[in-house]
Amino acid sequence: MAGSKYVYVKRFEMPDSLLPGTFTVVRIDGHGFHRFSTEHSFTRPNDERALKLMDQAAQSVMEEYSDIILAFGQSDEYSFLLRKDTKLHNRRHSKILSLLLSLFTSSYTFYWSKYFHEVELKYPPSFDARIVLYPSAKEVRDYFAWRQVDTHINNLYNTAFWALVQQGGESTTQAHALLKGTQSAQKHELLFSRFGINYNHIDVRFRKGSVLVREVQTHSTPGQSMYLTAATASPGSCDSASDNVPAVGAANVASREIRGVTGRREKVIRSVRVRHDDIVGNTFWEARPELLEG
């Protein structure tokens, strides 16, 4: 199309390419979610429906963009790691940020009724987002360790706080005062001695958050499948088989056919799975060295 006399205004657009040779992390956070969760009567301290909805929205984003190799979520936030050598949208900051954020937000709204069957969405949820660049694998690992440790700290506090309010009869002000300045061990002791709650037995989803990774699934006969990954059998891991979140998306799911040892043709699919692994230690990362390759 021929340019008009007005095309000169494009010169005012600023270039915003991300620094090459760096890992890109996009973090999406709920905006005003304290009010949102109150208005929609989220269960305290954890609403499993809301967490699964966040997982579903994140899975939609990861299935749409194959350059996303890992995601981690807790509460009302999700972080997405792109391949270090990604060329997605020519590494344009504004393009990547706006597209991931808009798809996440629209997916959250689209799937709302799937998880909140009897709860009407009273007003549109909103999220904000930022992009952070990291120079090496060390900073990437430390970033995700930071988010998972934050998950534990927040959940331990919230579990103790709401136990005091819901079971202990304390007001919210009194509960905050009782917990002020307490250490982790003291919160564990309070939960067990006063309410018989062993924090380590609480659902791992609440304590560790959700990790989204791509795993290889083979189909050899109708109705039979198997996931192939070194981490699948790792201690403390949990996949999404019981999470009511689809394992295979419609977009960007790589598949191929191989001939197995029995001579039967098998279809191999790399699909997004929701897990609840420890990502602070080495086991998760050593089982997936490709995540942090340059």
Residues β-bridged to residue 213: 273
Output the six-digit token pair for 190: 């309070």
239 belongs to an annotated ligand binding site: no
Amino acid letter, residue 177? A
**188 labelled binding-site residue:** no
Closest CA to 111 of 73, 55, 154: 55
Closest CA to 129 of 100, 154, 156: 100
- Structure tokens that stand for 253 in this block: 């799911």
Could you give the CA distance from residue 156 to residue 136 in angstroms, rounded to a whole number? 31
Q: Taking the C-alpha atoms of 138, 63, 248 and 284 in order, what is their torsion angle to the nearest 10 degrees? A: 0
3-state secondary structure of 230: helix
CA separation for the pair 18, 156 (Å, rounded): 37
Q: Three-state SS for 55? A: helix
Give the amino acid at 103.
L
Per the annotation, does 30 bind a ligand?
Answer: yes
Residue 33: Cβ within 10 Å count: 18
Does the annotation place 34 within a ligand binding site?
Answer: yes
Among 50, 54, 205, which Cα is nearest to 119's? 50
Residue 76, annotated ligand binder? Answer: yes
Is 75 annotated to bind ligand? yes
Q: Residues with Cβ < 8 Å from 177, sequence gap 6 or more?
A: none
Q: Mark the binding-site residues for GTP, compressed into ranges.
A: 29-34, 75-76
Q: Mark the binding-site residues, compressed into ranges.
A: 29-34, 75-76
Q: Mark the binding-site residues for Mg(2+), compressed into ranges.
A: 29-30, 76
